[in-house]
Each structure stands twice: as C-alpha cells, then as structure tokens.
Amino acid sequence: MSTLSAAILLFLVIDPVGNIPVFLSLLAPLDPRRARTVIVRELLIALAVLILFLLAGRYLLQILYVTEPALSIAGGIILFLIALKMIFADVQEIFGKAPEGEPFVVPLAIPLIAGPSAMATVLLLMARQPERWPSWLLAIIGAWLASGVILYFAPSVGRLLGQRGVAASQRLFGMLLTTIAVQMFLTGIRQFFSLD
C-alpha cells in the first residue's frame, strides 16, 4: 500500500464530513471562538493517540500474541460495522450519547476522530510493514490535516452541504469503507490459510 493510499484510507475511516453534524451539535452551546479552540485541542489529542498506536501498537500486539491475519480480520470486521452504521444509522447514533458540557477527549478526539477503526488501520499498517513507519506517519498526518481542515470549518461546510449533503457524503464514505473492510477481511483469511 502506498503512502497516498494509506492516507486516503485513514481519511475515509476518520470520516470528517460525516462527523460534522455531531461536532456541530456538541459544540452548539459554546461561543464560536471557544468551539474552534476545542476542535483544535481535540484534533491534537486524536493525532497523539494515532501516533502512539503507530509507534507502540506492534509491541502491544506482541505482548497480546495477536497475529497479522487476526488483526486484519478484526480490523475488517470493526471497519465493516462502522461502515454499516454510517450507511444506515442516524449520525448521532453512531457513537452513542455525548456527555454534558464542553467535550474533552470523548467523544470528539476518541472515538470520532481516532476511533477503533482508525487505530486498527494504523496497527495493521505497522504490522504489515513496520520498516515503513515514516510513510505511515506521513499518511496519518496527511489524513489528519485534511480531516482537521474540514472539521475546523465544520459550520461553514455544514451550511454549504446542507443536512442532506452531509448525510449523502456520510453514506458514500460508508459504502467505500464497506468494500475496504471486506478486502481487509479477505486478506486476513488468505494470510491465515497461507500460514498453515
């Protein structure tokens, strides 16, 4: 997988356009300036989490004795479930109810930006080709920057696309993720049988 392909995959997994309605609803009570500050803070926390998973994730996998095929199959299943929810569920139901007050770490940074599927994707990239960690780091930063710009300007993007446009883009991202998830699952199964 190329760096660009990995960045696009992570961008689709993060799904910034689909997250716009959740961000808008959670940040609605805040002053617009404060809301932008919160967005930047949560984006930085999410980036730190993804980089942590990139650098330390393989050691965690070794401690837990998780093989690459198992990770690929599990990542595909998680990605598939999130993709199905993106296609069929209301965006506010995807990650459950948010806590009251100003959001901190949960649910904006985790799981909306650095969710289970993004973490699993990063772990999978490192498990397959750990020597390419600089490329994966670049992919994470690229996907994070693109997502960050969209989420920073969420109010403007939300108004531009409208409610139907946001819902349609969320479903489109969900369909793309479904095919990627199935491919990850099939790759894991093929790797498992080639090990025996």
Residue 66 tokens, joined? 């998780």
Q: Which amino acid would we find at residue 70?
A: A
Residues 23 and 148: beta-carbon distance below 8 Å: no
- Residue 64 has a CB neighbour count (10 Å cut-off) of 8
Domain boundaries, the chain: 3-195
Handedness of CA 89, 41, 79, 183 (dihedral sign): positive
The shares of helix, strand and coil residues in the chain, as percent rounded to the nearest 5, are: 85, 0, 15
Q: Is the pTM of this model over 0.85?
A: no
**134/105 Cα distance (integer angstroms):** 26
pLDDT tens per residue, range 155-164: 787 778 787 8
Percentage of residues in the chain with pLDDT exceeding 90? 28
pLDDT > 80? residue 126: yes
pLDDT tens per residue, range 65-104: 888 788 778 877 877 877 787 777 654 554 445 455 677 8
Report pLDDT for 137. Answer: 97
Cβ-based neighbours of 112, under 8 Å, separated by 6 or more: 19, 22, 23, 95
